Structures are given as structure tokens and as C-alpha cells.
Amino acid sequence: MSMRYDVLNENVLVLNSTYEAVNICTVKRAIILIYKGVAVSLEFTNKIIHSPSTSFRVPTVIRLIEYVRIPHKKVVLSRKNILIRDKYTCQYCGKKFPPSELTIDHIIPKSKGGQTKWENVVSCCKKCNNKKGMKTPWEAGMTLVKKPSAPNFIYFLHIVRHIGNNNKAWMKYLYN
């Protein structure tokens, strides 16, 4: 087949037979799964791949024909992953910042028994961090933009690979 390298490396959302997102693979891998009869295309891009004997549209979402049990994966708690989860947005003022201008804030400060876990840490701009200090948000008269929680692995994977790129074809499968 005569295919452009960049098209083959674009991302494709992989759904289980139950329409649950389970992975992200390349177009090349998706085509292999489709031709082996393991998956079917559900959504397509506007791109077409040509071979000497056929042409077909490039998939952007595929569904596995048979159910595959996927072990539960956890996202590692790290500064980088907290910033990604919070979409580089201060969870107090709601403004977006570059990573260098964000800190990690313990909602309940460590000095008051707060733990370093997904539900107690958020990204915070330096101005809001100084305002909050060693207080809880309630003591400082501040509110959180959203309640923090550990991210779902597949949703997290989507965010990591597509920050700033809203793939509309994927939305109905990822945000039900």
C-alpha cells in the first residue's frame, strides 16, 4: 500500500465491544485489527488511504468485535499528572497558566493532617497559593473550581495525547 507515514501514525480511539474506551492506537494498528476481523470502524477522518487495488477512509474510532477484559490501571500521582488532570488551570481562580507558573497545593495543608493523594492536591497559581497559605480554602475564603479526584486511566490517556486537540468524533465515546 502507498500510505503517507504521518497518516499511519495518527491516533485512533479503540473501544471494547461494549463501547467503553480501552486504548488509543495508531492508524496502522487499527487497519491491521480491521483487516484481521478483530475490529470494525465506527468513525472516520476525511483522509483516504490508497493502495493499487483499493481506497478506504482512515478510521478515527474502532470497536473490538469481541469483549476484551482490561485490567484496571492507575495513573501515577505526580506533579506533571496533577497539572494534566487539572488542564494547567488554577483550581481556585480558574485561569490557565504555563506549568512553570503553577504550584501544587494541598487543599487540607499537610500541617493540618492533609495527605498527598489525588483527592487533596490541585494545581494552583502562585498568587492564589500565597493567598491561601497554610489555611484550608474555606478558612481563606476561597472555593475550588472542581472537586479533585483520581483520573480514569482512559480519560487521562486521551487528555495526555490530545491536549488542546478536541477530536469531536471521540467525544461521544469518552464523555458519556
How far apart CA 60 and CA 12 sit, in angstroms, is: 5
Residue pLDDT, tens place only, 86-107: 989 999 999 999 999 999 999 9
**Structure letter (DSSP) for residue 139:** T
How far apart CA 77 and CA 156 sit, in angstroms, is: 12
pLDDT of residue 2: 46
Percent of the chain at pLDDT exceeding 90: 59
Residue pLDDT, tens place only, 32-54: 999 999 999 999 999 999 888 88
pTM: 0.59
Q: For the chain, what are the domain ranges?
A: 5-71+153-174, 79-132
Q: Which residues pair with 44 in a beta bridge?
A: 59
Mean pLDDT, residues 121-149 taken together: 96
Of 59, 64, 12, the C-alpha closest to 38 is 64
pLDDT at 164 over 50: no
Fold category of 79-132 in CATH: DNA Binding (I), subunit A (1.10.30)
pLDDT at 16 over 60: yes
Percent of the chain at pLDDT exceeding 70: 88
